[in-house]
Amino acid sequence: GIQVEQSPPDLILQEGANSTLRCNFSDSVNNLQWFHQNPWGQLINLFYIPSGTKQNGRLSATTVATERYSLLYISSSQTTDSGVYFCAVVTGGGNKLTFGTGTQLKVEL
Amino acid sequence: GAGVSQSPRYKVTKRGQDVALRCDPISGHVSLYWYRQALGQGPEFLTYFNYEAQQDKSGLPNDRFSAERPEGSISTLTIQRTEQRDSAMYRCASSFGGPAEQFFGPGTRLTVL
């Protein structure tokens, strides 16, 4: 099956710093989503981005499908950005999401 | 409702008991998915439905796990004769179908003693 790897696995930032999270996948995809799992366990949709670039406030994402990677940019980080960031993909003719290994982010004051 | 809802939010049961977990998808979403998430890991696919038809159940770990969606809306995931290794967060998601964006519910935290 498809492999989805995220880096870095862990990240600690000072409030106000910027960061880039990466997601590499091993096959072509029909769907790519970025999620934020907050400390209360909610899985929040950030982006649906099988290709191209999108921005939403302090967050933006870029997927380069031909090179099989996606990037999530967080600017001016806040403590509420803490949690685990997952990318997840759908590949082939199926509809199931395969999740990456996650990036654990902690934003400190 | 505005989002996917799941009940109960927490379930504690004794080994050997049966449990039923419920999912109410976003109105109008034809596809419904079940995932299981172990602590410290990402969710893993269990099964999914288009309308009332179960399209893929390849992720169900064994025959103690079953799911249904009889009227194409609410779904129930049933685990028979629960074991301690079944303890996890069970998440439901829904979408408009195909590779469309999936939206997740709050999950049911299952603990088997």
Interchain proximity A88–B42, CB inside 8 Å: yes
Interchain proximity A43–B56, CB inside 8 Å: no
Interchain proximity A95–B35, CB inside 8 Å: no
Q: What is the DSSP string of B76-98?
A: EEEE-S--GGG-EEEEEEEESST
CA distance B43 to chain A (A): 6
pLDDT at A83: 97
- pLDDT tens per residue across span A12-63: 999 999 999 999 999 999 999 999 999 999 999 999 999 999 999 999 999 9
Reading the block at residue A17, the tokens are: 């710093």
Answer for the pair A70, A32: CB distance below 8 angstroms, yes or no: yes
Nearest chain B residue to A33 by CA: give it.
Answer: B101
- pLDDT tens per residue across span B63-92: 999 999 999 999 999 999 999 999 999 999
pLDDT at B1: 53
